[in-house]
Copies of this chain bind each other. A is one copy, B any other.
Amino acid sequence: MPYDYEKDGAAIYRQSFATIRAEADLARFAPDEEQIAVRMIHAAGMVGLESHIRFSPGFVQVARAALESGAPIFCDAHMVSEGVTRPRLPAENDVICTLRDPAVPGLAQELGNTRSAAALELWRPRLQGALVAIGNAPTALFHLLNMLQDPDCPRPAAIIGCPVGFVGAVESKAALWADQPVPCCVVEGRLGGSAITVAAINAIASRAE
Protein backbone atom coordinates (compact mmCIF):
# COMPACT_ATOMS: atom_id res chain seq x y z
CA MET A 1 0.00 0.00 0.00
CA PRO A 2 1.45 3.40 -0.92
CA TYR A 3 1.89 5.83 1.95
CA ASP A 4 -0.76 8.52 2.25
CA TYR A 5 0.48 11.92 3.43
CA GLU A 6 -0.11 15.66 3.09
CA LYS A 7 0.99 16.59 -0.44
CA ASP A 8 -0.18 20.21 -0.58
CA GLY A 9 2.72 22.58 0.05
CA ALA A 10 0.53 25.44 1.28
CA ALA A 11 -1.28 23.15 3.73
CA ILE A 12 2.06 21.83 5.01
CA TYR A 13 3.25 25.39 5.75
CA ARG A 14 -0.05 26.30 7.44
CA GLN A 15 -0.04 23.23 9.68
CA SER A 16 3.65 23.62 10.49
CA PHE A 17 3.33 27.27 11.50
CA ALA A 18 0.19 26.52 13.52
CA THR A 19 2.03 23.79 15.43
CA ILE A 20 4.94 26.12 16.14
CA ARG A 21 2.62 28.88 17.37
CA ALA A 22 0.82 26.40 19.62
CA GLU A 23 4.02 25.01 21.15
CA ALA A 24 6.62 27.80 21.18
CA ASP A 25 6.91 30.63 23.67
CA LEU A 26 6.75 33.67 21.38
CA ALA A 27 5.24 36.24 23.74
CA ARG A 28 8.33 38.43 24.04
CA PHE A 29 8.57 39.08 20.28
CA ALA A 30 6.97 42.02 18.45
CA PRO A 31 4.66 40.86 15.62
CA ASP A 32 7.29 41.42 12.89
CA GLU A 33 9.88 39.58 14.96
CA GLU A 34 7.46 36.75 15.71
CA GLN A 35 7.05 35.95 12.01
CA ILE A 36 10.80 35.68 11.65
CA ALA A 37 11.24 33.56 14.77
CA VAL A 38 8.49 31.18 13.62
CA ARG A 39 10.23 30.62 10.30
CA MET A 40 13.58 30.07 12.04
CA ILE A 41 12.01 27.46 14.36
CA HIS A 42 10.44 25.83 11.30
CA ALA A 43 13.79 25.53 9.52
CA ALA A 44 15.43 24.03 12.60
CA GLY A 45 12.56 21.65 13.35
CA MET A 46 13.01 22.72 16.95
CA VAL A 47 10.59 24.36 19.32
CA GLY A 48 12.78 25.90 22.01
CA LEU A 49 15.05 27.66 19.53
CA GLU A 50 13.09 30.83 20.31
CA SER A 51 14.80 31.19 23.67
CA HIS A 52 18.12 31.73 21.82
CA ILE A 53 16.86 34.30 19.28
CA ARG A 54 17.58 37.99 19.89
CA PHE A 55 16.56 40.98 17.75
CA SER A 56 18.02 44.43 18.37
CA PRO A 57 15.53 47.33 18.27
CA GLY A 58 14.54 48.26 14.74
CA PHE A 59 16.26 45.28 13.16
CA VAL A 60 13.28 43.99 11.20
CA GLN A 61 12.24 47.41 9.90
CA VAL A 62 15.79 48.35 8.84
CA ALA A 63 16.53 45.00 7.20
CA ARG A 64 13.20 44.99 5.36
CA ALA A 65 13.62 48.59 4.18
CA ALA A 66 17.08 47.74 2.86
CA LEU A 67 15.70 44.88 0.77
CA GLU A 68 12.78 47.00 -0.45
CA SER A 69 15.22 49.64 -1.62
CA GLY A 70 17.13 47.02 -3.63
CA ALA A 71 20.06 46.29 -1.32
CA PRO A 72 22.08 43.14 -2.02
CA ILE A 73 22.26 40.25 0.45
CA PHE A 74 25.79 39.10 1.28
CA CYS A 75 26.12 35.51 2.56
CA ASP A 76 29.16 33.71 3.98
CA ALA A 77 28.24 30.33 2.46
CA HIS A 78 26.67 28.98 -0.72
CA MET A 79 24.26 26.91 1.36
CA VAL A 80 22.86 30.26 2.55
CA SER A 81 22.77 32.04 -0.81
CA GLU A 82 21.24 28.97 -2.49
CA GLY A 83 18.44 28.73 0.06
CA VAL A 84 17.01 32.22 -0.43
CA THR A 85 13.64 31.95 -2.17
CA ARG A 86 14.06 34.37 -5.07
CA PRO A 87 10.33 35.09 -5.65
CA ARG A 88 10.04 36.35 -2.04
CA LEU A 89 12.61 39.12 -2.62
CA PRO A 90 10.94 42.56 -2.95
CA ALA A 91 13.35 44.03 -5.52
CA GLU A 92 14.98 41.10 -7.32
CA ASN A 93 17.84 41.69 -4.88
CA ASP A 94 21.25 40.26 -5.68
CA VAL A 95 22.18 37.37 -3.35
CA ILE A 96 25.95 37.16 -3.24
CA CYS A 97 28.45 34.66 -1.86
CA THR A 98 32.07 35.40 -2.73
CA LEU A 99 33.55 32.24 -1.18
CA ARG A 100 34.51 30.68 -4.52
CA ASP A 101 36.00 33.85 -6.00
CA PRO A 102 39.48 33.03 -7.36
CA ALA A 103 40.97 35.84 -5.26
CA VAL A 104 39.90 34.23 -1.98
CA PRO A 105 42.62 31.61 -1.40
CA GLY A 106 45.33 34.24 -1.86
CA LEU A 107 43.53 36.71 0.39
CA ALA A 108 43.15 34.03 3.07
CA GLN A 109 46.86 33.33 3.01
CA GLU A 110 47.69 37.04 3.13
CA LEU A 111 45.33 37.65 6.07
CA GLY A 112 46.25 34.42 7.88
CA ASN A 113 42.57 33.63 8.19
CA THR A 114 40.00 31.18 6.80
CA ARG A 115 38.64 31.52 3.28
CA SER A 116 35.22 32.21 4.83
CA ALA A 117 36.66 35.30 6.55
CA ALA A 118 38.81 36.42 3.61
CA ALA A 119 35.82 36.29 1.25
CA LEU A 120 34.27 39.25 3.13
CA GLU A 121 37.03 41.55 1.86
CA LEU A 122 35.36 41.28 -1.55
CA TRP A 123 32.08 42.65 -0.11
CA ARG A 124 33.45 46.16 0.49
CA PRO A 125 32.42 47.79 -2.83
CA ARG A 126 28.71 47.02 -2.23
CA LEU A 127 28.61 46.54 1.56
CA GLN A 128 27.15 49.98 2.33
CA GLY A 129 23.44 49.51 3.14
CA ALA A 130 23.46 45.76 2.39
CA LEU A 131 21.88 42.95 4.39
CA VAL A 132 24.60 40.65 5.74
CA ALA A 133 23.84 37.03 6.63
CA ILE A 134 26.50 34.95 8.41
CA GLY A 135 25.11 31.44 8.66
CA ASN A 136 28.14 29.23 8.85
CA ALA A 137 31.58 30.49 9.88
CA PRO A 138 32.39 32.15 13.22
CA THR A 139 35.61 33.44 11.62
CA ALA A 140 33.51 35.35 9.07
CA LEU A 141 31.49 37.07 11.80
CA PHE A 142 34.60 37.93 13.82
CA HIS A 143 36.28 39.30 10.69
CA LEU A 144 33.22 41.42 9.88
CA LEU A 145 33.26 42.91 13.38
CA ASN A 146 36.96 43.71 13.02
CA MET A 147 36.33 45.30 9.59
CA LEU A 148 33.59 47.47 11.13
CA GLN A 149 35.92 48.75 13.85
CA ASP A 150 37.42 50.85 11.03
CA PRO A 151 35.13 53.90 10.67
CA ASP A 152 36.04 54.05 6.97
CA CYS A 153 34.60 50.58 6.31
CA PRO A 154 31.22 50.72 4.53
CA ARG A 155 28.34 49.92 6.94
CA PRO A 156 25.74 47.27 6.13
CA ALA A 157 22.13 48.11 7.02
CA ALA A 158 21.72 45.07 9.24
CA ILE A 159 23.42 41.80 10.20
CA ILE A 160 21.99 38.32 10.72
CA GLY A 161 24.55 36.59 12.95
CA CYS A 162 23.92 32.83 13.04
CA PRO A 163 27.21 30.96 12.71
CA VAL A 164 27.06 27.48 14.20
CA GLY A 165 29.34 25.21 16.12
CA PHE A 166 31.83 24.52 18.83
CA VAL A 167 34.73 26.95 18.25
CA GLY A 168 34.00 30.66 18.06
CA ALA A 169 30.26 30.53 17.39
CA VAL A 170 29.25 31.40 20.96
CA GLU A 171 31.97 34.03 21.21
CA SER A 172 31.46 35.72 17.83
CA LYS A 173 27.72 36.08 18.37
CA ALA A 174 28.25 37.44 21.88
CA ALA A 175 30.67 39.96 20.36
CA LEU A 176 28.13 41.02 17.72
CA TRP A 177 25.45 41.43 20.38
CA ALA A 178 27.82 43.47 22.57
CA ASP A 179 29.09 45.69 19.72
CA GLN A 180 25.85 46.13 17.76
CA PRO A 181 27.62 48.08 15.00
CA VAL A 182 24.27 48.07 13.14
CA PRO A 183 20.86 46.49 13.97
CA CYS A 184 21.22 42.74 14.21
CA CYS A 185 19.58 39.41 14.85
CA VAL A 186 21.49 36.59 16.56
CA VAL A 187 20.93 33.02 17.65
CA GLU A 188 22.87 32.80 20.88
CA GLY A 189 24.93 29.75 21.75
CA ARG A 190 26.18 26.94 19.54
CA LEU A 191 23.00 26.62 17.48
CA GLY A 192 22.66 28.39 14.16
CA GLY A 193 23.59 27.44 10.63
CA SER A 194 22.54 27.94 7.08
CA ALA A 195 18.94 26.72 7.29
CA ILE A 196 18.06 29.01 10.22
CA THR A 197 19.82 31.92 8.51
CA VAL A 198 17.99 31.35 5.23
CA ALA A 199 14.70 31.23 7.11
CA ALA A 200 15.41 34.64 8.64
CA ILE A 201 16.23 36.12 5.23
CA ASN A 202 13.12 34.62 3.64
CA ALA A 203 10.93 35.98 6.45
CA ILE A 204 12.43 39.47 6.21
CA ALA A 205 11.99 39.42 2.44
CA SER A 206 8.23 38.90 2.61
CA ARG A 207 5.51 38.77 5.27
CA ALA A 208 3.71 36.07 3.25
CA GLU A 209 3.42 32.77 5.10
Contacts and interface: CB of A to CB of B under 8 A. Distances in A.
Contacts of A169: 45
Interface residues of A, number: 49
Given A79-B195, A194-B194, A113 B43 contact: no
A192 interface: yes
Given A12-B139, A46-B191, A190-B46, A5 B168 contact: yes
Contact of A117 (B7, B19, B164, B166): B7
Interface string A10-30: 001001100110000000000
A168 B12 contact: yes
A194 B195 contact: yes
A6 to B, nearest CB: 6
A195 B193 contact: yes
Interface of A: 2-3, 5-9, 12, 15-16, 19-20, 42-46, 78-79, 82-83, 112-115, 117, 138-139, 142, 145-146, 149, 164-169, 171-172, 175, 189-195, 198
